[in-house]
Amino acid sequence: MPALHPTLKAELHLSDGRKIELPVYQSHLGFDAIGVEKLQKEQLFTFDQGLTSTALCESSITYIDGDQGILLHRGYPIDELAFNKTYLDVAYLLLKGELPNEEELKAFKAEICSHYMVNEQFTRLFQGFRRDSHPMAVMCAASSALAAFYHEYYDEDPEKAHDKTAIRLLAKMPTLAAMCYKYSIGRPFMYPQYHLSYAGNFLYMMFATPCEPYVVNPVIERAMDRIFTLHADHEQNASTSAVRGVASSGPNPFACISAGIASLWGPAHGGANEACIKMLEEIGTVDRIPEFIARAKDKNDPFRLMGFGHRVYKNYDPRAKVMRETCHEVLKELGINTPLLQVAMELERIALSDPYFIERKLYPNVDFYSGIILQAIGIPTSMFTVIFALGRTVGWVANWRELNEEPMKIVRPRQIYTGHTERHIK
């Protein structure tokens, strides 16, 4: 990563007469950033709850323009990638910086296939859980368990070790996710199939049984692949910055990914897709929408419209547009006319014409339509955030690798202390 060079200066004038000059670093796209490192010498911190105005790091992987509703992966718009490339194309792009040619993609896929299987010991890991354990709890454990199997990370050539870690995670997350599902329904685990696409293999491991041939539906396969792409990476969101925070102290990378899975689980983040479908089911019919819109606007009611709003997007989430189109494709292919889609579309129409949502620039986000597609495919609600984690793994790994390109600087924020001053036991 080229060193950052200040292009502008900022002057901080304090009412006690102090004047502090600060560097301003220029981004290639989007906001510039004021460097505040020297404030500590002045006995000052910045305070930015939720880090809404703080650049955690320098990165060249993904760019988001929240006002314009733009999402670029290494410069390519998300809709172009989602409609014209596969998830493995996008994963290669995020990890290596360029889209793969045919040969490179073939070699990348072959390498991933060779790492699809997990150690047979993992079947014992699953047997330690209740059948009704939440799959995200199991995935947190399974990702950490990978750290128990792969710790040669430290003694290999770092570049080679990083490559192998990336491949192992991309390859094994679908296998572990499908094992979570099979275990929860008491069905046998299905082994990966090298001849299938990445998404096709996942669908096979999820829905095939040893008793009969399983044919992947190409429309569902494409939709599944597109869902992985739409979740691949998203700048410094809560789970990605969690991965960076944990990775900054240098632990095993699989443990870092486990931190990302834990953060993603929350209903304010990746857990919103599960919460959104439950909300749509609770609303049930179009005539009940006004009641829920009123609740979302009521400050005394903790209810929020799940799948709506975003910390960065103050415009339509570009992923939600692709997801909505994919939703129509899948429901048409399967001949499903779920009332949930009618409720979702009417909810979107009403909310986008309501001053409360317009003033706060609240639009549907990536989680608003994804649950309807996943439910139509036959994926249980409890697995929705696992699907998100599956797609996001490459984004976490790409950020983990980018962080490791720089000398390790541990993430160690400070605080505004408002507790007792020193006192002594009487």
| Catalytic positions | 310, 367
Q: How far apart are CA 276 and CA 256, in angstroms?
A: 27
Nearer to ligand SDX, 48 or 156 (CB): 48
CB of 306 to ligand SDX, least distance (A): 5
Cβ nearer to ligand SDX, comparing 182 with 226: 226
**Is residue 362 a contact point for ligand SDX (CB under 6 A)?**
yes
Minimum CB separation of residue 180 from ligand SDX in Å reads 21
Choice between 134 and 182, CB closer to ligand SDX: 134
CA torsion, ordered 264, 270, 274, 275, to nearest 10 deg: 100
Minimum distance from residue 177 beta carbon to ligand SDX (Å) = 18
Kind and range of the H or E run holding 20: strand 19-25
CA distance 307 to 400: 27
Q: How far is the CB of 426 from ligand SDX (least distance, A)?
A: 44
Q: What is the dihedral of CA 330, 332, 335, 338, to 10 degrees?
A: 70
Residue closer to ligand SDX by CB (options 95, 306) is 306
- Residue 217 Cβ, how far from ligand SDX at the closest point, in Å? 27
Q: Using CB under 6 A, which of 89, 221, 225, 367 touches ligand SDX? A: 367
Q: Give the residue closest to ligand SDX by C-beta.
A: 309
**Which CB sits closer to ligand SDX, 171 or 305?**
305
Asked if 307 is part of the footprint of ligand SDX (rule: CB under 6 A), the reply reads yes
**CA neighbor of 393 nearest in space, from 190, 146, 56:** 146
Query: Does 389 contact ligand SDX by CB under 6 A?
Result: no
Q: Which helix (H) or strand (E) holds 89?
A: helix 87-96
Residue 296 DSSP class: H
Judged by CB under 6 A, does residue 296 bind ligand SDX? yes
Strand 62-65: give its sheet, edge to edge: 62-65, 70-73, 76-77
Structural tokens at position 154: 């430290």
Q: Are the CB atoms for 325 and 373 separated by under 8 Å?
A: no
Q: Which window, 120-128, 216-224, 300-308, 414-422, contacts ligand SDX (CB under 6 A)?
A: 300-308
Is the CB of 179 or the CB of 283 nearer to ligand SDX? 283
Does the footprint of ligand SDX cover residue 73 (CB under 6 A)?
A: no
Look up residue 311 and give its two tokens. Answer: 């910390």
SS3 call for 267: coil
Q: Which stretch binds ligand SDX (CB under 6 A): 148-156, 323-331, 360-368, 370-378?
A: 360-368
- Interface mask toward ligand SDX for 215-254; x: CB under 6 A: -------------------x--xx----------------
Terminal CA-CA length for the chain: 55
Which residues lie closer than 8 Å to 175 by C-beta, 6 or more apart?
116, 117, 118, 192, 205
62 is written with which tokens? 């993904």
Binding to ligand SDX, residues 251-290 (CB under 6 A):
268-270, 272
Nearest alpha-carbon partner for 365 in 396, 321, 327: 321
Nearer to ligand SDX, 198 or 363 (CB): 363
**CB 254 → ligand SDX: shortest distance, Å?**
20
Regarding 164 and contact with ligand SDX (CB under 6 A), the answer is no
Q: HSE (CB half, 13 Å, CA atoms) of 300?
A: 0
d(CA 58, CA 405): 11
Residue numbers at the binding site for ligand SDX (CB under 6 A): 234, 237-238, 268-270, 272, 296, 304-312, 360, 362, 365-367
